[in-house]
Structure 1
Amino acid sequence: MSLDDIEHAAAAQGLIVMGALHPRRHVGLAETCGTLVLIGAGPGCWPIFTSAPEYFDGRADPLDRWSKRVLASLLPGLRYRCIFPSDGPPYAPFIAWALASGRFFHSPTGMMVHERAGLMISLRGALAFQQELLLPAATAEHPCERCANRPCINACPVDALSDRHLYDVPRCKAFLATAAGRSCMSEGCELRRACPISQNFDRNPAQSGFHMRAFLGEQDETPDPDASCKVRLVRGAELGS
């Protein structure tokens, strides 16, 4: 089993490997397995999910249930454990794992940014292997350091992120409930969409709208800011864990 094999299996479900790490080599990550592989929603995820039975069955948490079914059967015949950001409390420290993988970084807004997805991060789960898989060196550079204009900083229409990177959730939700907030509700957070990397990630606006409605509480699904899971806010990083 190689990381390439996992990436190939994930791609068939519209998922992508967003990062991987050897937790035993890091201090304080609360996980003792040999390898953690972080799986996220790719641009092809939405049409596959919206064709799945979970999307139509009318039960709560369709995306979480779809993620659990798909990841549990992603690698038939192999032994691994699935960890999901929506399970808890206690919640698994997905933010710490993501940053330790070397593929995620803190953006100027305080939210995480991914080398490929930008601010459109949707972590669906992690695969835990007892053995240490061969991983490529984490050579990604902080993408924000190459971004001259940093449009995300002033993109929020209601300035819900302060200069201390604290996220004003009530202000954000109040705006989303107004006519002026319809663009964010239907296409996704305007701040996240301002990120040049996010714009190149080709995320379906319908998927962003789905997560925004969940965030506002208009559907029974766990929210997706930063990690597609129940949100706890610490210094502006929308912690899904």
Structure 2
Amino acid sequence: MTLAETLAAHHLTILGGFHPTEEDGTPEGTRTLLMLGPLEPGFWAHFTASPEWQDGNPDPMDRWSRRTIGRIACDLGAKALFPFGGPPYQPIQRWAIRTGRIWQSPVRLLVSADQGMMVSFRGALALKERIDVPPPTDRPCDTCAKPCLTACPVGALTEAGYDVPACKSFLDTPQGQPCLTQGCEVRRACPVSQGYARLPEQSAYHMARFHGAG
């Protein structure tokens, strides 16, 4: 079974990868770093059938990611790295941009060639072997009308940055319910996002965690 097939069995996919240099801050001996995220369609149904979701304990997705990607890494003799569990935190966003398939969007959130602004990272694999990685591609924003710039109903997320308090206050209002239950309107406005089969239920889960944080 190929690595892609192994990941697909867990509804995970390779979002991009690169061959690190010393400046990248990857674990010593890493010759290939792969960024992993949900594989659609079907990720949410797969995840919500997991013991981590079913047991009712906190942080089910992080615990599922640690178990699943950790086991894959162990089988490969690789190291699993995660965007949670710090501080200190891994430089996941910087690594993502190094792949040449993920960029900073006009509103500064990351945008993926495959998943648009719905891109999310469940972890990364640091391999001791040098393997082929998905090739860099053109940034979709360069030929886009950039609806993300004007999509936020309260102007909390623009090219000037992210006004988190304004966003969270809006989510408390009736007008903010579509963002809370279906996902951020800015992320949904991205044309690449619209072609990605992420369910509203998954977006609602992440929005609820964001809204309830600090």
Which TM-score band (shorter chain)? over 0.9
Q: How far is 1:8 from its partner? A: 1.5
Matched, 1:15 2:12: yes
- SS state of the match for residue 193, structure 2? helix
- For 1:144, give the aligned amino acid: C
- For 1:34, give the aligned amino acid: R
Aligned to 2:167: 172
Equivalent pairs: percent with the same residue? 42
Runs of 5+ unmatched residues, structure 1: 219-230, 232-241
- SS state of the match for residue 72, structure 2? coil
Q: How far is 1:136 from its partner? A: 4.5
Q: Is the 8 A contact 1:158 1:171 kept in 2?
A: yes
Q: How far is 1:163 from its partner? A: 4.0
- For 1:87, give the aligned amino acid: G
TM-score (norm: length of structure 2): 0.93
Q: How far is 1:29 from its partner? A: 1.5
- For 1:56, give the aligned amino acid: Q
Aligned to 1:223: none
Aligned to 1:99: 97
Q: Is the 8 A contact 1:9 1:75 kept in 2?
A: no
**Could you report, residue by residue, the CA deviation over 1:181-218 in whole angstroms, capped at 9, with x for unpaired residues?**
11001100000000010010010100000000000117
Q: Is the 8 A contact 2:16 2:133 kept in 1?
A: no
- For 1:19, give the aligned amino acid: G
- For 1:8, give the aligned amino acid: E
- For 1:210, give the aligned amino acid: Y
Q: How far is 1:134 from its partner? A: 2.5
Structure 2 CA distance for aligned equivalents of residues 78 and 179 of structure 1: 48
Q: Is the 8 A contact 2:83 2:92 kept in 1?
A: yes
Q: Is the 8 A contact 2:53 2:60 kept in 1?
A: yes
Kindly tell me the number of residue pairs found equivalent between the two proteins: 211
Runs of 5+ unmatched residues, structure 2: none
**Could you report, residue by residue, the CA deviation over 1:9-36 in whole angstroms, capped at 9, with x for unpaired residues?**
1111111110111112xx6321141111
**Could you report, residue by residue, the CA deviation over 1:51-78 in whole angstroms, capped at 9, with x for unpaired residues?**
0111111111000001111112236642
Matched, 1:185 2:180: yes
- SS state of the match for residue 67, structure 2? helix
Q: Is the 8 A contact 2:157 2:186 kept in 1?
A: no
Structure 1 CA distance for aligned equivalents of residues 67 and 134 of structure 2: 28
TM-score (norm: length of structure 1): 0.83
- For 2:5, give the aligned amino acid: H
Q: How far is 1:146 from its partner? A: 1.9
**Could you report, residue by residue, the CA deviation over 1:135-168 in whole angstroms, capped at 9, with x for unpaired residues?**
3432x10101121x2111100011012442x210
- For 2:146, give the aligned amino acid: R
Matched, 1:201 2:203: no
Q: Is the 8 A contact 2:111 2:119 kept in 1?
A: yes
Aligned to 2:36: 39
Structure 1 CA distance for aligned equivalents of residues 158 and 195 of structure 2: 26
